[in-house]
Amino acid sequence: MGIDNSLKVGSNEMELVDFRILKQEDDGVYEGIYGINVSKVREIIKFPELTDLPGTPEFIEGIFDLRGVVIPVVNLAKWMGIEEPEEARKDARVIITEFNNVLIGFIVHDAKRIRRISWSEIEPAAFASGSGKNALDGSKITGVTKIEGDNVLLILDLESVVQDLGLYEPDVSNTPAEIDNLSGVALILDDSATARKIVKDALKKMGFKVVEAIDGVEGLQKLDDLYQMYGNEIAQNLKIIISDVEMPKMDGFHFAATVKEDERFQDIPIVFNSSISDHFSEIRGKEAGAEAYLVKFQADSFYDEVSRIVRAHMK
Same structural domain, 137 and 192: no
**Residue ending a domain, choose from 164, 193, 220:** 164
pLDDT in tens, 77-100: 988 888 888 888 888 999 999 887
**Residue ending a domain, choose from 135, 164, 193:** 164
Q: Is residue 8 part of a domain?
A: no
Which residues lie below 8 Å from residue 52, measured CB to CB, with a gap of 6+?
Answer: 62
pLDDT averaged over the chain? Answer: 84
> Across the strands, what pairs with 34?
19, 154
Same structural domain, 136 and 199: no
| Residues 297, 118: Cα–Cα separation, whole Å | 26
Helix (H, G, I), strand (E, B) or coil at 241: strand
**Residue ending a domain, choose from 107, 129, 164:** 164
Same structural domain, 212 and 160: no
Same structural domain, 202 and 270: yes
**CB-CB contact of 191 with 219 (8 Å):** no
Residue 207, number of CB atoms within 10 A of its CB: 16
Same structural domain, 129 and 249: no
Q: Is residue 88 part of a domain?
A: yes
Q: Is residue 179 part of a domain?
A: no
pLDDT in tens, 173-190: 555 555 667 899 999 999
Q: Is residue 170 part of a domain?
A: no
Angle of CA points 112, 115, 120, to nearest 5°: 145
Q: Is residue 178 part of a domain?
A: no
Which CATH number fits the domain that encloses residue 299? 3.40.50.2300
**CB-CB contact of 101 with 108 (8 Å):** no
Give first-to-last CA distance, the chain, whole Å: 44
> Across the strands, what pairs with 211?
187
CA neighbor of 218 nearest in space, from 179, 251, 266, 182: 251
pLDDT in tens, 232-279: 999 999 999 999 998 888 999 999 999 999 999 999 999 999 988 878
Q: Is residue 6 part of a domain?
A: no
Q: How many structural domains compose the chain?
A: 2
pLDDT value at residue 265? 95
Q: Is residue 79 part of a domain?
A: yes
Q: Is residue 86 part of a domain?
A: yes
Same structural domain, 153 and 231: no
Same structural domain, 143 and 199: no
Backbone angles phi, psi at 119, to 5 degrees: -60, -25
Same structural domain, 263 and 146: no
Same structural domain, 33 and 156: yes
pLDDT in tens, 190-200: 988 778 888 99
Which CATH number fits the domain that encloses residue 51? 2.40.50.180
Strand order in the sheet with 152-156: 110-118, 13-25, 28-37, 152-156, 141-146, 123-124
Same structural domain, 197 and 305: yes
Helix (H, G, I), strand (E, B) or coil at 98: strand
CA neighbor of 294 nearest in space, from 268, 265, 272: 272
Q: Which amino acid appears at position 263 of this protein?
A: E
Same structural domain, 26 and 154: yes
Say what the pTM is. 0.77
Q: Give mean pLDDT, residues 99-107.
A: 88
| Residues 9, 7: Cα–Cα separation, whole Å | 7
- How many whole angstroms from its chain centre is CA 114? 18
Domain range spanning residue 160? Answer: 13-164
Same structural domain, 45 and 108: yes
The alpha carbons of the chain give a radius of gyration, in whole angstroms, of 21
